[in-house]
Amino acid sequence: MVRKKYVWGLLVIAAIAPISWRLTRILFDHQALTDLLHSAGNWQIPVFLGAHTLAASVGVPGTVLVILGGALFGLVWGTLWSIIGATVGAVVAFWLARYLLHGWFKRRFCSHPRFQGVYKRLDHTMQQQALTCVLAIRFAPISPFNVVNFLFGLTNIAVTPYAVGTLIGIIPGTMAYTWLGVTGVDALRGGDWWPVILCLSLLMVLSLMPLFAKKYRRSGSDRSC
């Protein structure tokens, strides 16, 4: 059964690899990506969503896409399309890791004395506070989004809290990066640069928020003792 699952997984990868490789090369070429989206016409939104989904699925950083979404669609629609595309891609990456690597990971590490206790505690936390864990990790815009997608797939967390936590948790960071795209275009056209500086400051604050929250919880527990 396990061997059959891997065979089917390899066949799927082999089938989509040529197309994914070509599209992934475009994702790394910012000018080619911009030209592709500008030439898509009425298909611009589906192409943008597909690029986001592919980027998250294969581990390509999507920050440039989010900023580009702000430049193309504005703050509201750029944020919305980026959130949808990134969430769908995160779920695809999650299922790839769950389907292809979860069994191997458990056999390889969970029986090892050094990692067994850590994995059990992590798995227990994921089952008891799944949504909270996902939100805490997703809220920081500098967290390695694509790496986290695959790592969550290696745990026993259910897909629903993972998807919901991802959808909600990436909203602040996605909005900030989209705003950076909007303000960056305005600044390059001769507008003020202070919105760009304000946006970068907001991203810095969002990145530090999990550390402040952790310190606050720790100080609160010390006072209660």
For 108-137, write each residue's pLDDT tens digit. Answer: 666 666 666 667 777 777 778 888 888 888
Smallest CA-to-CA distance from 96 within 66, 54, 133 is with 54
Name the band, by pLDDT with cuts 50, 70 and 90, for residue 175: confident
All residues at 6 or more sequence positions from 84 whose CB lies less than 8 Å from its CB, including other chains: 49, 52
Does the pLDDT of residue 166 top 60, yes or no?
yes
3-class secondary-structure state, position 60 = coil
Rounded to whole angstroms, how far apart are CA atoms 126 and 162?
A: 10
Higher-confidence position of 183 and 15: 183
Q: Catalogue the long-range contacts made by 42-45 (C-beta closer than 8 Å, 24 or more residues apart).
A: 44/72, 45/73, 45/81
Q: What percent of the chain has pLDDT over 70?
A: 59
Angle among Cα 122, 124, 129 to the nearest 5 degrees reads: 95
